[in-house]
């Protein structure tokens, strides 16, 4: 019975000693200049990289708006089914309706520019 108690205590102590070793490295006992290096990398590489990606996407979106046309409307019987009216607005448009790209059951909305 006593040997079972010693065995269980030995098993419980082993993971704790490993945990203490791992947690010591996480509390800043690693390389002294690591935080400064990551801070510099964030400001020099990460933020400008995100800014360039945002600019690229914005310019592509502007180019797409110039050439975008809706496809020809085909009134398929299995699409845009309205068994009852929506409880908001005029009852025909869905909650996330976008008049530039979403068609209604009878076709696209006309835009006067």
45 belongs to a structural domain: yes
Whether residue 19 contacts residue 13, with contact meaning beta carbons closer than 8 Å, is answered with: no
Same domain, 19 and 41: no
Predicted pLDDT at 9:
72
Length of the chain: 113
- Residue span of the structural domain in which 46 resides: 31-66
Q: Chain-centre distance of CA 78, in angstroms? A: 31
Residue 98 lies in a domain: no
pLDDT, average across residues 70-92? 86
C-alpha–C-alpha distance, residues 35 and 21, integer Å = 20
Answer whether residue 104 is part of any domain.
Answer: no
Classify 100 as helix, strand or coil: coil
Asked if residue 90 belongs to a domain, the reply is no
Least confident of 29-33, 46-50, 92-96: 29-33
pLDDT reported for residue 27:
60
Digit-coded pLDDT (tens) for 34-76: 889 999 999 999 999 999 999 999 999 999 888 878 888 888 8
Structure tokens at 84: 């009852």
The confidence score (pLDDT) of residue 53 equals 98
- The total of structural domains in the chain comes to 2
102 part of a folded domain: no
Residue 102 vs residue 113, higher pLDDT: 102
Asked if 82 and 92 touch (Cβ cutoff 8 Å), the reply is: yes
Q: What is the pTM of this model?
A: 0.46
């Amino acid at each position: 019975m006593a040997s079972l108690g010693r065995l269980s205590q030995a098993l419980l102590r082993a993971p704790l000693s490993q945990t203490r070793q791992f947690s010591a490295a996480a509390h800043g006992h690693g390389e002294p200049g690591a935080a400064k290096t990551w801070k510099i990398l964030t400001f020099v590489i990460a933020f400008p990289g995100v800014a360039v990606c945002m600019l690229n996407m914005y310019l592509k979106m502007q180019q797409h708006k110039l050439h975008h046309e809706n496809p020809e409307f085909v009134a398929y019987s299995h699409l845009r089914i309205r068994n009852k009216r929506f409880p908001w607005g005029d009852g025909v448009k869905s909650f996330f309706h976008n008049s530039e790209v979403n068609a209604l059951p009878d076709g696209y909305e006309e835009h006067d520019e």
